[in-house]
Amino acid sequence: MGAFATVDFWGLLGISIVAAIGMNLVYITGQLNLGQAAFYAIGAYTAAWIDTELGWPLPALLLAAAVVAGIGAMPIAWGASRLAGIYLIMGTLAAGQLVQVAFGNAEELGGRQGYRIESQIALPEVAASVGVVLILATLLMTSRFGLRMRALFDDSDAAAVAGVAVRRVKIFSVVVSASVVGIAGGMWALWIGKIEPREFGVFLSFDIALYSLIGGVHSLIGAVAGAVVVEVLTGNVIRDVVGPWAFVIYGALVMVLIAVLPEGLVSRSFALRLTAPLRKLRRRRVESGVLSHARVEPAGETVLTVRHVGHRYDGVVALDDVSLEVRGGEVLALIGANGAGKSTLIDVISGRVPNEAGAVTLLGTRIDGMPAHRRKAMGVGRTFQDVRTFAHLTVEESLRLSAADGARSNATVEAMLDRVALGRRRDDLPEALTVAERRRLDIARAAIAMPSVLLLDEPSVGMVEQERIEIAELIGSLRDEGMAVVVVDHNLDLALGLADRVGVLDFGVLIALGSPDAVLADERVRAAYLGHADPLDGVGS
C-alpha cells in the first residue's frame, strides 16, 4: 500500500475532488454534462498561459482559470438549457470534443505538442484549494439558490410552480460548475507541469461524470466519495496489484454501482443522517412567525378571472370556452368526471400548459403567456394531482424553496410547519411521509407564499375520512385568511362541504356554476357525474 503514501496520489486526489464538486454542481440540476473535459482544459490552459506570460500568484491563477472556464461555458450553458436527457448528453459531448480539437489547433499554446509550465502547486496548496472550493460549494448548496438548483433534479415542472426560473438556474449551474472544473484543470496543469490536448479527451469527461454518479449527486460528501473511489480504482495502487485488468474491473464496477446504487454511494438520506448533528447545532430557535400576506385583498373582491379559455390535447377538446371568476375568501369547487378538463383548467391558470384561446387575469393583470414561475411570483399557488413532492428535499427545504423571498422566510417556514403539523418531520424526505402528510406538505408548499389564488388538484385522493376532515379544515383556514381557493376533487363531500360555489365541467364545458345546492339539484350534473344516459344508450338491462 506504499503508493497511497506518495505525494502524487494525494495531489491528484485533491484535484479530482475539486472536479467532482464541480460536476455535482451541474448534475444536481438534472443536467448530465459529458463535456466537462472542455472546462478542465480551458482552466488548465488559462492557468498555464497566465503563469508563463504574466507570472501571477497561485490564487490569482486559479481564479482566472475559474473565470475563463465560466465565460467559455456560457454558450454551452445556453445551448444545454434547450436540451434534455440523451440529447443533452450528446450536446455536451460534442462541446467537449470541439474544445479539444480547438486546443489541438492552437499553435500559440503549443498545438498538439502541448504547453510546458515552470511553476508548481504544492500539496498544502492543493489541500487549501480543495478546502476553499468545498466551503464555497457548501454555502451555495445550502443557500436558497442552491435549493432551487436541487429542486430541478427531482421535478422541473413542480420547481417552476414553486417559483424557480428553470432555464436561468440551469444556465447558471452549468457556468458555475464549469468554473469549478476549470479550477481543477488549473490545479492539474500546475501539478503536472505539462499539458497536452490529448489529455482532455472524452475519457476525462467520463471520469468527471462518474465521480458524481458513483459518489452521489445529492451531497458534496458524495462528490468527495466518488472522487476517492474512482481515483483509487484507476490509480497506480490497483494497477500494481492486478496489472492490466485493473481498468476492466473498474469498468465492471461502474456498471454494478450504477445499477445497484441509483443514488450513488452517498444517498440523500445517508447524507442527511451524517449531517444531522450539524443541523441540530445550527438550528436557531426561530420564534414562531406569522404567515404574512403577499397581498391582502378584501374578501369578496374578484381575484382571478378566466375568460373564454380553450385548450385541446391531441385533437381532444379538453377545455371549451370556459369562463369563471374566483373571489378572495371563497372556495370554488370544480367537479366533473375523469377527463372533463378540471386538471387542464388548473394547468392553464398556473402556466403549465398554454391556453390556446381566451384570457386569464389575476388582480387585473393578464397572466396567460407568462411562464409558471412568474405567475407564482404574481400570486398563483398550486398542487398537483399526483403529489409532486421533491424526492430529495426535506420537508423544511421544500417549504423554504416555495416561501416568498425576504428576511422573514425562516419564521414563515416555522409557522407553516406548525400549521400543517409537520414540525417533527422537518428533516424527513417525502418517502418517509404518509400519504396524508405528503398532501399536507404539498398544500403547505403551495400556500406558504400566501398566493392570491390557491389551486388544489384532488387534495384528498387516497385519504381516510379523518385525514380528509383535517385537509378540509386546513383549506378552510386558508380561505378564511382571504385566499381565493379553487379545489378539484372527486370527493364531493369534501368539495361540497367546503365550497361556497361549485362549477361542473363536462367534456371541457362548464355546464353549471353556482351554489352547491343549486348545482346538485341540476339533473345535467348528475348525468355528467354518473355517466350519460343519452338517447343512444340502449343497454338498459
Partner 1 sequence: MTALEARDLEVRYGKLNAVTSVSFTVEPGSALAILGRNGAGKSSLLAALAGLVRPSRGQVLVDGVDVTPFAADRRARSGLTLVPEGRRIFRALTVEENLRLGGFWSEPDRLVADVGRVTRLFPVLAEKMASPAGHMSGGEQQMLAIGRALMSRPRVLLLDEPSLGLAPRAVADVYAQLAVLREEGLTIVVVEQQVRRALGFAADAMVLHEGSVAAHEEPGVLLDDPRLLNAYMGGSRPT
Partner 2 sequence: MTQVVINGLLVGASYALLAIGYTLVFGVMRLLTLAHGQVFMASGAIALIAANAYGLPLVVAGLLAVTIGALLSALTDVVSFRPVGYSRPIAAAVSTIGFAIVIERGIIAIRGDETAVPFLFEVNTDFRVGSVQVSLVEVATFVLALVVMVLTSRFLQRSRWGIAMRAFSRDPEAVALLGVPVRRLAVRTLAVAGGLAGLSAFLWVARNRSVAPSDGFAVGLIALAVMTIGGIGSMRGAVIAGLTLGVVVNVLDYQGLRGWQAAVPWMLLLVVLLLRPQGLFGEADA
Which residues of the chain form contacts with partner 2 (CB under 8 A)?
A: 32, 79, 82-83, 85-87, 89-91, 93-95, 97-98, 101-102, 104-105, 111, 201-203, 206, 209-210, 213, 243-245, 247-248, 250-255, 258-259, 262
Select 1 or 86, whichever has its Cβ closest to partner 2.
86
**Cβ at position 305, least distance to partner 2 in Å:** 34
**Cβ at position 239, least distance to partner 2 in Å:** 11
55 binds, among partner 2, partner 1, none (CB under 5 to 8 A by kind): none
287 binds, among partner 2, partner 1, none (CB under 5 to 8 A by kind): none
Coil, strand or helix at 66:
helix
CA distances from 295 to 328, 330, 338, 411 (A): 11, 16, 34, 18
91 binds, among partner 1, partner 2, none (CB under 5 to 8 A by kind): partner 2
List the one residue out of 209, 185, 210 whose CA is nearest residue 99: 185
**Separation between Cα atoms, residue 29 and residue 155, nearest integer Å:** 10
**Cβ at position 26, least distance to partner 2 in Å:** 13
Within 81-165, residue ranges assigned H as helices are: 85-105, 123-142, 144-154, 156-161
289 binds, among partner 2, partner 1, none (CB under 5 to 8 A by kind): none
Select 79 or 289, whichever has its Cβ closest to partner 2.
79
Select 103 or 172, whichever has its Cβ closest to partner 2.
103
Select 110 or 381, whichever has its Cβ closest to partner 2.
110
**Cβ at position 105, least distance to partner 2 in Å:** 4
List the one residue out of 510, 477, 523, 532 whose CA is nearest residue 333: 510
> What residues make contact with partner 1 under the rule CB under 8 A?
315-316, 337-339, 431, 434-435, 458, 460-462, 464-465, 468, 490-494, 496-497, 507, 517, 520, 529-534, 536-541
Select 32 or 528, whichever has its Cβ closest to partner 2.
32
**Cβ at position 203, least distance to partner 2 in Å:** 8
Cβ atoms within 10 Å, residue 298 = 9
252 binds, among partner 2, partner 1, none (CB under 5 to 8 A by kind): partner 2
DSSP character at residue 29: T
243 binds, among partner 2, partner 1, none (CB under 5 to 8 A by kind): partner 2
Q: What are phi and psi of 327, to 5 degrees?
A: -100, 155
**Cβ at position 414, least distance to partner 2 in Å:** 37
Select 23 or 471, whichever has its Cβ closest to partner 2.
23
**Cβ at position 399, least distance to partner 1 in Å:** 22
**Separation between Cα atoms, residue 511 and residue 522, nearest integer Å:** 10
Select 380 or 510, whichever has its Cβ closest to partner 1.
510
533 binds, among partner 1, partner 2, none (CB under 5 to 8 A by kind): partner 1
Select 260 or 281, whichever has its Cβ closest to partner 2.
260
- Are 501 and 332 contacting, i.e. CB atoms less than 8 angstroms apart? yes
105 binds, among partner 2, partner 1, none (CB under 5 to 8 A by kind): partner 2
**Cβ at position 76, least distance to partner 2 in Å:** 9
Select 114 or 201, whichever has its Cβ closest to partner 2.
201
435 binds, among partner 2, partner 1, none (CB under 5 to 8 A by kind): partner 1
- For residue 458, the one-letter residue type is E
Select 262 or 531, whichever has its Cβ closest to partner 2.
262
**Cβ at position 228, least distance to partner 2 in Å:** 18
- Are 36 and 202 contacting, i.e. CB atoms less than 8 angstroms apart? no
Sign of CA dihedral 38, 42, 45, 48: negative
Grid cell locating 520: 346538485
213 binds, among partner 2, partner 1, none (CB under 5 to 8 A by kind): partner 2
- Are 437 and 389 contacting, i.e. CB atoms less than 8 angstroms apart? no
Please provide the DSSP assignment of 513-541 as one string. EE-HHHHHH-HHHHHHHH----TT-----
List the one residue out of 299, 191, 210 whose CA is nearest residue 253: 210
Cβ atoms within 10 Å, residue 485 = 26
Whose cell is 383535517? That residue is 470
**Separation between Cα atoms, residue 319 and residue 340, nearest integer Å:** 8
Cβ atoms within 10 Å, residue 196 = 17
Residue 55 region by backbone torsions, left for phi larger than 0, else alpha for psi between -120 and 50, else beta: left
- Are 445 and 394 contacting, i.e. CB atoms less than 8 angstroms apart? no
Cβ atoms within 10 Å, residue 82 = 11
**Cβ at position 509, least distance to partner 1 in Å:** 12
